[in-house]
């Protein structure tokens, strides 16, 4: 069954307290060389049928209206799994 992956990140200009906390832990444990860490979300939507244009439009809308809040986040990528269908899955 095809899996669609949606990536959502906090807006670049906003403080990401979670990422900041991780960055602090990295530096405390001596892992230097990282100027920042940002934490986002990955959604995997497994679909029953084929990924057609109608479904693509629907996922686009779901990503923008439900999976993310445009006030605080951006949808940075939607992977419809086209390449995986042809190469790695077979």
Partner 1 sequence: MRIGVITFPGSLDDRDAQRAVRLAGGEPVALWHGSHDLEGVDALILPGGFSYGDYLRCGAIASLSPIMTEVVDAANAGLPVLGICNGFQMLAEAHLLEGGLIRNDHGSFICRDQVLTVENTETAWTSDFEAGQQITIPLKNGEGGFIADADTLDRLEGEGRVAFRYVDVNPNGSMRDIAGITNARGNVVGLMPHPEHAVEPGFGPDTAAAMRSGVDGLGFFTSVIRKALVEA
User: Which residues are near partner 1 by CB under 8 A?
Assistant: 10, 14-15, 17-18, 20-21, 66-67, 69, 71-72
Q: Under 8 Å CB-to-CB from 70, ≥6 apart: which residues? A: 64
Q: Which is nearer to partner 1, 1 or 71 (CB)?
A: 71
State in angstroms the smallest separation of the CB of 84 from partner 1: 26
Q: Which is nearer to partner 1, 14 or 26 (CB)?
A: 14
State in angstroms the smallest separation of the CB of 54 from partner 1: 22
State in angstroms the smallest separation of the CB of 72 from partner 1: 4
- Total Cβ atoms within 10 A of residue 84: 14
Among 7, 1, 12, 3, residue whose Cα is nearest residue 78: 7
- Total Cβ atoms within 10 A of residue 69: 12
């Amino acid at each position: 069954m095809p899996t669609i992956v949606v990536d959502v990140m906090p807006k670049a200009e906003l403080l990401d307290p979670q990422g900041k906390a991780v960055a602090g832990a990295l530096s405390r444990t001596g892992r230097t060389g990282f100027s920042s860490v940002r934490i986002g979300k990955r959604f995997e939507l497994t679909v029953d049928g084929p990924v057609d244009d109608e479904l693509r439009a629907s996922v686009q809308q779901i990503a923008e209206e439900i999976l993310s809040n445009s006030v605080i986040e951006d949808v940075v990528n939607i992977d419809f799994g086209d390449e995986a269908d042809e190469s790695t899955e077979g």
